[in-house]
Amino acid sequence: MSEAPAETTSPETALLEIRGLQVAFGGFRAIDGVDLTVGRGELRFLIGPNGAGKTTLIDVITGLTRPTAGSVRFEGRDLAGRREHEIVRLGVGRTFQTSVVFEELTVLENLDLAASFRRPLWSLLRRGRGVSEEVAAALETIGLTPLAHSRAGVLSHGQRQWLEIGMLIVQRPRLLLLDEPVAGMASDERERTGELLTEIARDHTVIVVEHDMDFLRRYASQVTVLHEGKVLMEGSVDEVRADPHVQEIYLGRAREGAEDAVR
């Protein structure tokens, strides 16, 4: 787990710097003045109730949504106006809530496709034979080696999420954004995902959007809480859980959901 707490991150070493970010959809402000700094090697959790702006924040970083105001800098470079694939090429990778893998392709082919993204297009015309070390290692990491030649369409929900994470790893991004990686998973799958996350966080900077408090407690160190498009607080898991404000928005909002959240 990361050793570097956010507040000590100096501008030179900050990997991601978000300043004064605003996103409005029509009249609705999904993000309303967010500042966020993530340092190299961090594992940062983003939490908040539904509609807090978590996914929108990730969408802005990855170019899917255009900010209304403010800046997003990655390794000192402004991401504004860049297209999604260009941002990926700069070293930012992400997964989606509903995992999207290419069902027609095998697990191996999915990974291979992800791994080849820096090759010139022409070299893709050759028939890719064999498995690169990197892809083999990723297969091992996500535990899908036995299913390497199965079509991704037959994978379970959890396996798909892992495959997506594997596809991220082989791209060697310097920043990984995982959007609710354990949503809808059974408990053994969560466990597995948590281990995977820990392993990845060893040599990557990772931002995880997550609802699940239990998962948070077990795997998070630094947490940023978003609420109604603003940063409510930042701190360690324990600080966040102890904060009355956070408790209020989680507990006060919906009692039945809260039980689940603080469980």
Partner 1 sequence: MEGVLNQLPIGLSIGAVLLLIALGLTFTFGQMGVINMAHGEFIMAGAYTAYLLQGVGFLVALPAAFVVAGLMGLVLERTLIRRFYGRPLDTLLLTWGVSLMLQQLARDLFGAPNVQVVSPAWLRGGLGILPYNRLFIMALAVLSVLAIWAYMHKTGQGRRMRAVMQNRRLAATSGIDTGRVDQRTFFIGSGLAGVAGVALTLIGPVGPTLGTYYIVDAFLVVVAGGLGQLRGAVLAAIGLGLLNSYAEFWSDASLAKVIVFVAIIGFLQIRPQGLFFVRSRALT
Partner 2 sequence: MTAVEAPAEAPPVVRREPRRWQGPAAFAAVALLALVVAPLLLEPFRLGLLAKYLCYAIVALGIGLAWGQGGMLTLGQGVFFGLGGYAMGMYLKLHDAGGDLPDFMVWSGVEKLPALWTPFGNPVFALAMAVVVPVVVALLLGALVFRQRVRGAYFAILTQALAAALVILLVGQQGLTGGTNGLTNFFDFFGQDLAADETQRGLYLTVAVVLGVLYLGARQLVRSRFGRLLLAVRDGEDRVRFLGYNPATVKTLTFAVSAGMAGIAGALFVPVVGIISPALLGVVPSLELVVGVAVGGRFALAGALLGAVVMGYARTYFSEELPAAWLYLQGALFVLVMTLAPRGIAGLAAGLVRRRREAGT
164-183 residues near partner 2, rule: CB under 8 A:
167, 171
DSSP secondary structure string, 179-210?
ESTTTT--HHHHHHHHHHHHHHHHHSEEEEE-
Q: Which residues contact residue 75 at a Cβ distance below 8 angstroms, ignoring those fewer than 6 apart? A: 15, 90, 91, 174
The type of residue at 23 is: V
Q: How far is the CB of 99 from partner 2 (least distance, A)?
A: 9
The nearest distance, CB 237 to partner 1, in angstroms, is 26
β pairing state of 175-179 and 205-209? parallel
126 binds, among partner 2, partner 1, none (CB under 5 to 8 A by kind): partner 2
User: Which part of the chain contacts partner 2 (CB under 8 A), choosing from 49-57, 67-75, 118-126, 210-218?
Assistant: 118-126
**Residue 103 binds which entry of partner 2, partner 1, none, CB below 5-8 Å type-dependent:** partner 2
Site string (23-62) toward partner 2, x via CB under 8 A: ---------------------------------------x
Torsion sign, CA atoms 99, 104, 108, 110: negative
- Which position has the token pair 């501008």? 11
Q: Which of 125, 133, 203, 244 binds partner 2 (CB under 8 A)?
A: 125
Site for partner 1 in 79-98 (CB under 8 A): 96-98
**Which CB sits closer to partner 2, 102 or 243?**
102
Phi-psi region of 23 (alpha: psi -120 to 50; beta: other; left: phi over 0): beta
Alpha-carbon span 124 to 126, nearest angstrom: 5
Give the number of other Cβ atoms within 10 Å of residue 135's Cβ.
24
Q: For partner 2, which is the closer residue by CB, 87 or 213?
A: 87
Choose which of 22, 68, 97, 116 interacts with partner 2 (CB under 8 A): 116
55 binds, among partner 1, partner 2, none (CB under 5 to 8 A by kind): partner 1
Cα–Cα dist 99/142, whole Å: 15
Question: Does 37 sit near partner 1 (CB under 8 A)?
Answer: no
Q: If binding is defined by CB under 8 A, does position 64 make contact with partner 1?
A: yes
Q: What share of the chain is helix, strand, coil (3-state, %, to 5)?
A: 40, 25, 35
Binding site for partner 1 (CB under 8 A): 55-56, 59, 64-65, 96-98, 100
